[in-house]
Amino acid sequence: MGTSSARRPPSTRLWRLARGAATRYLAPEAPAPAFAGEVVARYLTALREGSGQEAGALASFRQTRKVSQELGAFAALAQSQGWAGALTARGLQDLAGQPPEVLAPALAAALSGPGADLEAAAARAALTSILMEEAAAPDPARWVARFLAGALYSRLALDLGESLEAAAPACRPFRAGAAGLRTVIEASAQTLPPAPPPAPEHWQGAAGWLWVTSFLEGLLQQLSNFKR
């Protein structure tokens, strides 16, 4: 039902609780159904394992934050110089004029780099989605915020996809449940207090890193405290 690339996460207590919440979320007759927010919160609690409690789940998104800076910088270029100018500046002029279904995955691969691990796969999936949907209106802060929410959702879907798929009675409730998880994450990203984004030329420097880190930290904190 769409999670063929899902992985089997660790079998520690916190991960078992996260998988259990995913199962209760989609099982049609679960004695204590889970809400989408609980699934996300338990997932983030499990994700902190191995990252160190002080760093929290944030430590699991180091490469994602770097990709966010690349995306912000590209969006700023596209905003000021147009898509052709931004693509040329990245050495991707051959992509100018290509349809979104060709441009989006190629540009996503260029911005996310050659990584082949779970974090890189989630970043590429989220980037492709953003570039397909937002191509007409480059907006660095909006793109980065949506990308971070999308990357988090993609990570969750890969980690808990097996439990979600096994619990769903059919394809339609599975897709509806997955959409519910995405909605919770995206809604939290939209309610975070806005902060002034970096100047276009600063997205790839310390200012960009701090903005991305602050935004993601707020998103993870808000989702970790989700009550229903």
Residue 4 DSSP label: T
Distance between CA atoms of residues 38 and 181, nearest Å: 10
The pLDDT tens digits for 122-134 are 999 999 999 998 8
The per-residue pLDDT for 7 is: 62
pLDDT at residue 102 tops 70: yes
Q: What is the DSSP string of 153-183?
A: HHHHHHHHHHHHHHH-SSHHHHHHHHHHHHH
- The more confident residue out of 97 and 71 is 71
Q: How many domains, in total, are found in the chain?
A: 1
Q: In the structure encoding, which two tokens stand for residue 137, read together?
A: 């209106």
User: Is 2 contained in some domain?
Assistant: no
User: Is 197 contained in some domain?
Assistant: yes
User: Is 167 contained in some domain?
Assistant: yes
User: Is 5 contained in some domain?
Assistant: no
Give the residue-averaged pLDDT of 173-177: 94
pTM exceeding the 0.75 threshold for the entire prediction: yes
The per-residue pLDDT for 4 is: 44
Signed CA dihedral, 157, 177, 183, 188: sign only: negative
Question: Which value, to the nearest 10 degrees, does the dihedral of the CA atoms of residues 74, 216, 59, 9 take?
Answer: -100
User: Is 8 contained in some domain?
Assistant: no
Cβ within 8 Å of residue 186, ≥6 positions away? 146, 149, 150, 153
User: Could you give phi then psi for residue 125, rounded to 5 degrees?
Assistant: -60, -45
User: Is 102 contained in some domain?
Assistant: yes
49 closest CA partner among 89, 3, 97, 9 = 9
Q: Which domain holds residue 40?
A: 13-224
Distance between CA atoms of residues 15 and 49, nearest Å: 9
Distance between CA atoms of residues 220 and 201, nearest Å: 27
